A and B are shown apart, each in its own frame.
Chain A
């Protein structure tokens, strides 16, 4: 059954459609509504239609970590955040380093009938950074890119081999720039950690890794996407690399755009992250990086945990924040705090679509795949216990409120609104 959304404000970076207009959806694609007849009609007055968001870093926790979340629960949480495509990390148990693992994730995602799941696999066997995994077999099984998860390469030698091998087979890599021997520490080595005496992580662990990996990219010409930048200097290095036409891109997490090191002053374990929150200067540079397009993508870095993982003194808690469910609200919050929505939306639609080679996705335009979100941007969103979907309650938004009431969400033209408990669309309008 085809669908027409009438009189809706279309807001889609790069699209020819904008403002008060109507759009049709048929056979999974956006179509000209004039060509449709006998369609279901939705009155979109007062609401905005956005392209479905693309989140390049989500921990779905399945297989093996179902006590933290499942593919079904966390992809539902993604839909509730306006996210219609997630790139799944390989940090599961067992990790995703064989074609069978990839197929398992794809099958369970298909069964969940929620959002689009694009798996990634590990570059090295077991993710320990020592021996190469069957990289091409993983890609053929359906991964969209390969990564090292949260872990760095064990040595520069294996990093060089991985980049050379990937470049020769045109495999894109997603890398966390972290130097193996400088990783660790639960807080940024700045004034807040100094006052609290927390174990520290130096920004050098990131900046040195970025410089080293850029040098390897220069030599190998491997396509590398740097994930979760946290420092102003790293943004500068990537900007310079792009000027030299190196095949690099990068992303930043919502947490690093929203918060800085002062968020941990009260030892709230929800702010204990794998890559620590850094200074206000770094946060501002990351926002500026998104505005200028140096930073290509924004990720939720969704990391749901069971309550017990955060029920300990700060340094002993597991790092990570449950965020995908709050993605759209976070973008609206940033819009009111110096990061215009037009830029953040691009970093979660057209830009990641392009990076992932999904050029049929990320826009509301005739002929594109019909992933979209119908939202009341001024509507308040309540994240109370009854409406929370993710298995992980380890979020600064949990028990709070946000902006952006979602009234409908479609993935490849399929209505997924009933997957989220955040207010069912009123079809009588």
Chain B
């Protein structure tokens, strides 16, 4: 049985679904990022509209709350001239007891071309991709604590734009790596891009076991971990972590791991600060840093649209090519 990493590629190694960054090659990621760059104008702004997906239907399946990710997928699909349908499944079938499998079969009958899936269970987009009819592409928009591959790709795009090829950079990821699909996908993506130095900075309660097996060095003291890095990625801290007893308070987290101007000086002088958003000022990041010249957080959002356009265009084009082969 193929896993997510195998299922998302067709026999020729082209991307037909995007389920995880795990197993993607440097070449494939580079080609995705090049395409995404092409969807931005010379000023760095995304192009407004291209007719690539005219006549195609993109269905946003959001089984879990999301505003930003959903909006950027919406915008990306519209800019590719696709028809977009957004279903907030939480408030429809799931609450009526319909299983994910039956929901899927119903939506399939509606002749969609691409499903964008967000779900609270890890592996849900894989489950869908594994069972969907062959002509439908599935893009993972975040599943449990498993993966958030488009976020990782937009992070890589932002890193590449500001710092160049990740293959000679030091990247530090700070905060709740244990529960973060963003961190997991970024780590797999950075490894594929041959990043030589990936660091995780967090207290023991927010680190998953055996991170070293993923090629990540762990640090419990931020002062040690930040030394000489090119890129700092901050993760969002959820309030549930305090309730679960993993942390004493947001205040103590900020005291130990918050990104302040003083700490930023420990990194390289031209280091960039990233955050998947929404940011918690005074918890993960100090105001001066969030609003300072080294923060590229809003640029990440802009890149997110271009990356999602590239992913949709590439997966649908693979599906089309495969469909022609099947004829």
Contacts and interface: CB of A to CB of B under 8 A. Distances in A.
Interface of A: 189-191, 193-200, 265-268, 308, 311-316
Given A190-B210, A194-B209, A311 B99 contact: yes
Contacts of B121: 312-316
Contacts of B209: 189-191, 193-194, 200
B123 A313 contact: yes
Given A266-B2, A267-B126, A313-B121, A197 B146 contact: yes
Contacts of A316: 100, 121
Contacts of A313: 100, 119, 121-124, 126-127, 143-144
Contacts of B143: 313
Interface residues of B, number: 30
Contacts of A199: 122, 145
A198 B3 CA distance: 14
A198 B122 contact: yes
Contact of B100 (A191, A196, A197, A312): A312
B147 interface: yes
Contacts of A191: 209-210, 213-214
Chain A CB within 10 A, most for which of B6, B99, B143, B146 = B146
Contacts of A200: 208-209
Interface string B73-109: 0000000000000000000000000011100000000
A199 B213 CA distance: 18
Interface in B183-230: 184, 188, 208-211, 213-214
Contact of A197 (B99, B122, B124): B122
A314 B122 contact: yes
6 contacts: A193-B209, A197-B144, A266-B6, A312-B121, A314-B127, A315-B144
B4 to A, nearest CB: 7
Nearest to A187: B122
A266 B23 CA distance: 12
A198 B209 CA distance: 12
**Best-surrounded residue of B22, B99, B209 (most CB of chain A within 10 A):** B209
A317 to B, nearest CB: 9
Contacts of A196: 122-123, 146
Nearest to B128: A313
Contacts of A193: 208-209
Contact of A194 (B3, B4, B213): B213
A314 B144 CA distance: 11
Contacts of B124: 313
A181 to B, nearest CB: 11
Contacts, number: 81
Nearest to A270: B1
Contact of B208 (A194, A268, A308, A312): A194
Nearest to B119: A313
B118 interface: no
Contacts of B17: none
Contact of B214 (A189, A194, A314): A194
B213 to A, nearest CB: 4
B16 interface: no
B142 to A, nearest CB: 11
A308 B102 CA distance: 11
B254 to A, nearest CB: 25
Contacts of A265: 3
Given A189-B208, A191-B209, A198-B122, 14 more contacts: A190-B209, A191-B213, A194-B209, A195-B214, A197-B144, A197-B145, A265-B3, A266-B4, A267-B123, A267-B127, A312-B121, A313-B143, A314-B127, A315-B122
A285 B3 CA distance: 28
Nearest to A271: B1
B126 A195 contact: no
A266 B1 contact: yes
B181 interface: yes
Contacts of A311: 99, 101
A149 to B, nearest CB: 25
B136 to A, nearest CB: 17
A312 B99 contact: yes
Contacts of B147: 197
8 smallest CB-CB distances across A and B, nearest first, come from A266-B3, A197-B145, A191-B210, A191-B213, A313-B121, A313-B124, A194-B208, A197-B146
Nearest to A396: B1
B1 A194 contact: no
B144 A308 contact: no
Interface string B127-153: 100000000000000011111000000
Nearest to A308: B99
B22 A195 contact: yes
A199 B146 CA distance: 9
Nearest to B177: A194
A268 B22 CA distance: 17
Nearest to A202: B209
A192 to B, nearest CB: 9
Most chain B Cβ neighbours within 10 Å, of A193, A200, A315: A315
Nearest to A189: B209
A370 B143 CA distance: 55
A135 B138 CA distance: 54
A3 B28 CA distance: 69
Contact of A267 (B3, B99, B101, B214): B3
A198 to B, nearest CB: 6
Contacts of A190: 209-210
